[in-house]
């Protein structure tokens, strides 16, 4: 189809090699499907007891799972629907259009697909993404003037604003039991330091041999994911892969590398992946709650598991490792 990125032409050599080598299936089946701990944020506004219970439940989930799902989160259903409609509209555009300079690419590689550094099917994601750094959002108007535009700036901005408030609220509540001062996130994150990633997973004929997104941890404090009913998100729990039961009525929250470092390993940035689906396409939107580049992340308790590092330094290390090995490596690089 004209809208699909040419995965099979671009990565022909990798597909060919896998077929020749009869690469074993990477997906282990008979994986358990689990429901994530459900946190009702409405309880934050009930009495002090309910509020405390809600915060404790959230901290427990961040410690034991690194993942939870939330309801009564303050992002209107109607806005989530509008965002999804925008997302569908964008990804339905012809591939040539999507990859044009000054169209979706508000920043370098804003629109991405596959993985240019892939060495095998194991590190090649069967997905296309539009990564919007919220710092670049004002460029949308300029691009709008160049061509009849594709993506409503107002919807993106509205969503980003609400997601930012929600992310800050979650981050602050999670900080309470760690003794991190309440203003920490307000001081180090700004509405433009975070990013929004719109994901589309096309139906993938090689779904037993490649992932929708390869296993990874997120480079942020926490991520808020809105997903549809298709499913495919899996997380690594004590060495075993488990599937997250999809529930489009909730938002999924996961702890990222920076909160793991900040909490000195109490909260877990868990490796997760998305399984490709042979028949159905899947959409998700991930909001990455990030500090400004200069922010230095330091463990909240001593002795520290990690040496302190800035976001900028962390990003640069990831890029170096990706180039050298094809893998992110991540927090283990900063262990003391
Ligand atoms: O699509 C999903 O459910 C998760 C996406 C994800 O892990 C990411 O974008 O980092
Ligand atoms: Fe992720």
CATH of the domain at 237: 2.60.120.330
Domain holding 290, by residue range, is 7-304
In a domain, 275, yes or no: yes
Q: Determine contact, residues 156/197, Cβ cutoff 8 Å.
A: no
Query: How far apart are alpha carbons 119 and 281 in whole angstroms?
Result: 25
Q: pLDDT (tens digit, 9 = 90+) per residue, 189-228? A: 998 999 999 999 999 988 888 899 999 999 999 999 999 9
**Cα 296 to Cα 168: distance, rounded to the nearest angstrom:** 18
Which one is predicted more confidently, 17 or 186? Answer: 186
In a domain, 321, yes or no: no
Is residue 309 situated within a structural domain? Answer: no
Task: Supply 272's token pair.
Answer: 């997760």
| Mean pLDDT value across residues 170-194 | 95
Q: If you measure from the C-alpha of residue 303 to the centroid of ligand 1, how many angstroms do you get, rounded to a whole number?
A: 32
Q: Is residue 315 part of a domain?
A: no
Least confident of 49-63, 200-214, 296-310: 200-214
Distance (Å) from CA 231 to ligand 2 centroid: 14
Whether residue 72 lies inside any domain: the answer is: yes
How far is the C-alpha of 278 from the C-alpha of 241, rounded, in Å? 19
Examine residue 2 and state whether it is found in any structural domain, yes or no. Answer: no
Please give the biggest Cα pair distance in the chain. Answer: 63
Q: What mean pLDDT value characterizes the chain?
A: 90
Q: Is the ipTM of this complex over 0.95?
A: yes
Is there a domain that residue 335 lies in? no
- What domain count does the chain have? 1
Catalytic residue among 197, 200, 273, 282: 282
In 265-308, DSSP assigns E strands to 272-275, 282-289, 296-297
pTM of model > 0.80: yes
Query: With contact defined as beta carbons under 8 Å apart, do 184 and 175 qualify?
Result: yes
Lowest model confidence (mean pLDDT) among 12-21, 38-47, 83-92: 12-21
* Domain assignment of residue 333, yes or no: no
Among this protein's residues, is 282 annotated catalytic?
Answer: yes
């Amino acid at each position: 189809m004209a809208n699909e990125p040419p995965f099979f032409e671009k990565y022909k050599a990798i597909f060919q090699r896998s077929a020749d080598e009869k690469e074993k299936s990477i997906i282990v089946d008979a994986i358990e499907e689990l429901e994530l701990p459900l946190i009702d944020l409405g309880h934050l506004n009930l009495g002090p007891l309910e509020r405390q219970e809600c915060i404790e439940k959230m901290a427990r989930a961040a410690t034991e799972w690194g993942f939870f799902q939330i309801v009564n989160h303050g992002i209107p259903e109607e806005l989530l629907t509008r965002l999804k409609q925008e997302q569908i509209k964008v990804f339905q555009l012809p591939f040539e259009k999507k990859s044009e300079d000054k169209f979706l690419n508000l920043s370098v590689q804003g629109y991405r697909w596959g993985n240019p550094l892939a060495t095998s099917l194991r590190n090649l994601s069967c997905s296309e993404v539009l990564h919007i750094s919220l710092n670049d959002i004002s460029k949308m108007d300029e691009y709008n003037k160049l061509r009849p535009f594709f993506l409503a700036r107002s919807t993106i901005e509205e969503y980003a604003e609400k997601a930012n408030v929600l992310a800050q609220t979650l981050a602050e509540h999670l900080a309470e039991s760690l003794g991190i001062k309440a203003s920490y996130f307000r001081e180090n994150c700004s509405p433009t330091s975070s990013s929004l990633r719109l994901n589309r997973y096309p139906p993938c004929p090689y779904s037993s041999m490649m992932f929708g997104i390869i296993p990874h941890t997120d480079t942020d404090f926490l991520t808020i994911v809105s997903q549809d009913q298709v499913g495919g998100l899996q997380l690594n729990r004590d060495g075993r892969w488990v599937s997250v039961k999809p529930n489009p009525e909730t938002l999924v929250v996961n702890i990222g590398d920076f909160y793991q470092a900040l909490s000195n390993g109490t909260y877990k940035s868990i490796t997760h992946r998305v399984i490709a689906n042979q028949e159905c396409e899947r959409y998700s939107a991930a909001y990455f709650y990030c500090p400004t580049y200069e922010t230095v992340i330091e463990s909240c308790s001593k002795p520290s598991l990690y040496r302190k590092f800035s976001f900028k330094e962390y990003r640069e290390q990831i890029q170096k490792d990706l180039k050298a090995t094809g893998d992110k490596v991540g927090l283990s690089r900063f262990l003391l």
